[in-house]
Structure 1
Amino acid sequence: MASSANKAAWAMTAPGVIFFAALLGAPMIMTFLLSLHAYDFNAGVLPDWTLANYADVLGDSYFHKIFLRTFGLAALVTVICVLIGAPEAYVLSRLQNPWKSIFLLVVLGPLLISVVVRTLGWALFFGGNGVLTMVAQGLGFSDEPVSLMFTFTGMTIALVHVLVPFMVISVWASLQKIDPQSEDAAWTLGASKLTVLRRITLPQAMPGILSGSIIVFALTASAFATPAIIGGRRMKVVATAAYDEYLSTLNWPLGATIAVLLLVANVVIIVTYNKLVERRFAKVFE
């Protein structure tokens, strides 16, 4: 019986696995193979196999700076999204209908708008003649134009706005699984609200915080549209650097190499973070 059940499970999942492998696996393999080709500015992509592209990226301080900026930005955006999204999800989970539905729609509303449109809105706000300048001059904070375009701060604010709904959704989904009677029992036994939050609510919300932070980190590290518009060429990230190699210099192998290294670094950081956080909070909440 167990063998037939396993066969049925494999048969049911096989179409999805094959479809996933075809759409995601094949392009990734092709990108990796492309990164192993040599390149000549006159002849283009050469059939020769080489690891020179990886040596160029790993040994160049220019790319080191771009990778550090990218993952520093991803870490900062993730921390801010946790600080904003987790309390917001907690408050949202305590609301009653119709307010819960209304505020959930407000939180998820930005996801209905294209990320490019939202980023262009921030560009208008951050520009030298934008709303930020008018507000700063109107309040007397500055007589000169104030601009956050092409700055690390501007990219951080825009990406937090784009990605904080993913954190709220993840944490809110975990909080929905909490049995309210467990909190009521703790209060009945004399526990303070802070103790209930720390010993009961937070441990059960940790899977949502962990999954939300992984989603936000991965999306930030691989983001293209927002850094390209707000950061421009002054604040390049890995995704925009790979784009420039593909379409500006037409060095496809080097662009593929940057993309592969971004994927590998993302996977390593996320897996390491996942294990460290799980171990840490397992000890704290024992």
Structure 2
Amino acid sequence: MTNRREAWLFLFPGLALLVLGFILPIMRMLVLSVMGPDGVTFEHFARFFQDGYYPSILWRTVRLSLVITALTAAIGFPLAYITSRVGPQARLWLIVMVILPLMTSVVVRTFGWMVLLGRSGPLATMLREMGLVGRSFSLMHTESAIILGMVQVLLPFMVLSLLGVLTRLDPRLEEAARTMGCSFLQTIRRVVLPLSMPGVVAGSLLVFTLSASSFITPSLLGGARIEVLAGSIYKSVTQTLDWNFAAAQSVILFFGLALVLIPYLRLGARHG
């Protein structure tokens, strides 16, 4: 009985922080989403789906998040694999290079992408000098700019999630596969990749949820013409001061992401 009381005593600060910092704000958001001048109403949700503008923003948010997650996994897996197989000193420097961008503000990194992707930036200048694009070419305020910026911002989360799994894999499994006649790519596909699926699933969940809820980088690189749902929520709170509609959009985004994440959760449970 005493041990149970001590356990609850240690758990209480964390549970109190969880309730105050997460559960109560979410409950408040749910209440705001169904509140109107005359009491409980669902007009805010109806307003969202009556016009095709807001569902298109939701679809763009989910679509871009899926693309960003796929590209981050495709780039992060080779980088994490190389990091897990090099010597201790080289691994340390690679981990530092992966973590170093996290020490810089997302806003600063996004402004750096704005310089690179702008009409007078080095990328557009190089392509114009090669004769591949016209004088007015610019990647700014396009979905491609959002994808490039978000992949760079979220790549460390994917790499670190994969690295924690790959470093625990026994290298003798790869040696056994090569001895049995598998090539390097076959060993990666049949041995390393299946065993690293927990890291892939964890990293994908993290990257997808962060990209879907981000609004700073998409707003700066996409501009007002290419809007995501998080940016629309921010605009409803800060510009139109329509807190009820912003809460309704937040609830829709939450449940929309939950529907997309269900297959990932099942895959994660299957792979332990």
**TM exceeding 0.5:** yes
Q: Summarize the alignment of residues 202-217 of structure 1 with structure 2, pairs less than 5 Å apart.
A: 202-217=193-208
State how far apart, in whole Å, the 1-side matches of 2:181 and 2:5 are: 52
1:21 — aligned with what? 19
1:139 — aligned with what? 130
Which runs of 5 or more residues in structure 2 are unaligned?
Answer: none
CA distance 1:27–1:219, change in 2 (3 Å): same
2:216 — aligned with what? 225
Question: Which string of whole-angstrom CA distances, capped at 9 and with x for unpartnered residues, describes residues 83-111 of structure 1?
Answer: 10011100111111321111111122111
1:268 — aligned with what? 259
Q: Summarize the alignment of residues 171-190 of structure 1 with structure 2, pairs less than 5 Å apart.
A: 171-190=162-181
2:71 — aligned with what? 80
Greater Cα offset, 207-216 or 93-102: 93-102
Question: C-alpha displacement at 1:273, in angstroms?
Answer: 2.6
1:43 — aligned with what? none
TM-score, with structure 2 as normaliser: 0.92
**1:18 maps to amino acid:** A
Question: C-alpha displacement at 1:265, in angstroms?
Answer: 1.4
| 8 Å Cα contact 1:32/1:256 also seen in 2 | yes
- Cα RMSD of the aligned pairs, angstroms, is 2.1
Question: Which string of whole-angstrom CA distances, capped at 9 and with x for unpartnered residues, describes residues 204-245 of structure 1?
Answer: 211101100010000011011001101111000000111111
State how far apart, in whole Å, the 1-side matches of 2:122 and 2:99 are: 24
CA distance 1:198–1:129, change in 2 (3 Å): closer
Number of equivalenced pairs: 272
Q: Summarize the alignment of residues 131-170 of structure 1 with structure 2, pairs less than 5 Å apart.
A: 131-170=122-161
State how far apart, in whole Å, the 2-side matches of 1:185 and 1:131 are: 47
**2:119 maps to amino acid:** G
Greater Cα offset, 81-90 or 133-142: 133-142
Question: C-alpha displacement at 1:19, in angstroms?
Answer: 0.9
Question: C-alpha displacement at 1:246, in angstroms?
Answer: 1.4
SS at match of 2:196: helix
**2:56 maps to amino acid:** K
Question: C-alpha displacement at 1:130, in angstroms?
Answer: 1.8
Q: Summarize the alignment of residues 1-286 of structure 1 with structure 2, pairs less than 5 Å apart.
A: 8-38=6-36, 46=37, 48-276=39-267
| 8 Å Cα contact 1:132/1:146 also seen in 2 | no
State how far apart, in whole Å, the 2-side matches of 1:108 and 1:47 are: 51
CA distance 1:28–1:136, change in 2 (3 Å): same
CA distance 1:264–1:135, change in 2 (3 Å): same
**2:78 maps to amino acid:** P
Question: Which string of whole-angstrom CA distances, capped at 9 and with x for unpartnered residues, describes residues 3-58 of structure 1?
Answer: 765554444323212211111111111111111122xxxxxxx3622111011113
Question: Which string of whole-angstrom CA distances, capped at 9 and with x for unpartnered residues, describes residues 181-215 of structure 1?
Answer: 33334444555434432333222211101100010
Percentage identity across aligned positions?
34
State how far apart, in whole Å, the 2-side matches of 1:214 and 1:6 are: 34
| 8 Å Cα contact 1:37/1:253 also seen in 2 | yes
Question: C-alpha displacement at 1:261, in angstroms?
Answer: 1.1
**2:46 maps to amino acid:** A
1:41 — aligned with what? none
